[in-house]
Amino acid sequence: MSLMEELKNLYRVDGQVRALRSRVDSAQRYLDAQSRELGALTDRKAELEQRRRQLQATIANYEVETKAIDERLEKLRGELNSAENNKQYTTVLSELNTAKEQRSLVEDQILAEMEQLESVGADLETLDGQIVERSKVRDVASTQLQQRQADVGERLSELEVERDAAAAAIPPSELATFDELTHIHDGEAMAVVEEISRRNREYNCGACQMQIPFEQVSLLMNDTGALICCASCHRILIMAEETRGALAKK
């Protein structure tokens, strides 16, 4: 095989390897996305649980406060009953009313915190449902990935051996060029020469559409063994048999 034929062969096998790998890669990306979503939900749950603990602690503190006020109220009521004169009575009554107001304020606080606690509880319930659903999706994605790996695994190993053999047939510097272009153009290292006008000797790069000087087309026709690359996108140019045949007849 000529260098150009060896390269075409490598290009073909490399494309097959890439196509199979991309099937596994897309399943992997899907699984990663699901795992990230699940992670975000779990983080949110931890935050809400922390918030719930804070609210519960605040409420417990207010309840301690209420109990202290109640004890004070009880004491003041006793004092009120045993007041010995009007002045004493009025003083104790005023203290009693102040304590009652305090109690009412603390009760309002407790109610407000309770409302928040309820809302956090509802959010947590919703979140738990979402976590269950997302876990199911994640598990399906995980199974799918394993399935794909199993499906393509054997064929992929075969193709990788074939690709290595195809690459081994190509001189190191040309192979390096091919690999670099493969990397840059996401697998599209080669481009087919397109005939625009035979009469005007107009030819384009099939990938980037830039015009190719006719001298380069001639070099390709003669198959000198040197790589001819597009001046614009640098892809290795190849000629379809029909284009070559048509030009040869001329």
Of the two residues 157 and 232, which places its CB atom closer to Zn ion in the complex? 232
d(CA 230, CA 237): 6
Of the two residues 132 and 240, which places its CB atom closer to Zn ion in the complex? 240
**Minimum gap (Å) between residue 204 Cβ and Zn ion:** 8
Binding mask 157-196 for Zn ion (x = CB under 5 A): ----------------------------------------
Question: If you search the block for the tokens 């035979």, which residue do you land on?
Answer: 198
Question: If you search the block for the tokens 């202290």, which residue do you land on?
Answer: 68
Strand, coil or helix: 32: helix
**Minimum gap (Å) between residue 205 Cβ and Zn ion:** 3
**Can you state the percent helix, strand and coil of the chain, rounding each to 5?**
75, 5, 15
d(CA 132, CA 153): 31
Of the candidates 188, 248, 190, 239, the one whose C-alpha atom is nearest the C-alpha of residue 217 is 239
Chain positions 201 to 230 lying near Zn ion, rule: CB under 5 A, are 205, 207-208, 230
Of the two residues 111 and 210, which places its CB atom closer to Zn ion in the complex? 210
Of the two residues 210 and 246, which places its CB atom closer to Zn ion in the complex? 210
Sign of CA dihedral 171, 232, 189, 22: positive
Chain positions 51 to 70 lying near Zn ion, rule: CB under 5 A, are none
Of the two residues 143 and 232, which places its CB atom closer to Zn ion in the complex? 232
Give the count of beta carbons closer than 10 Å to the beta carbon of residue 171: 11
Size of interface with Zn ion, in residues (CB under 5 A): 6
**Minimum gap (Å) between residue 180 Cβ and Zn ion:** 15
Of the two residues 141 and 228, which places its CB atom closer to Zn ion in the complex? 228
d(CA 202, CA 213): 8
**Minimum gap (Å) between residue 31 Cβ and Zn ion:** 36
122: its two tokens: 């509802």
120: β partners: none
**Minimum gap (Å) between residue 164 Cβ and Zn ion:** 28
**Minimum gap (Å) between residue 238 Cβ and Zn ion:** 12
238: β partners: 192
**By the rule CB under 5 A, 233 interacts with Zn ion:** yes
Question: What does the binding site for Zn ion look like in residue numbers (CB under 5 A)?
Answer: 205, 207-208, 230, 232-233
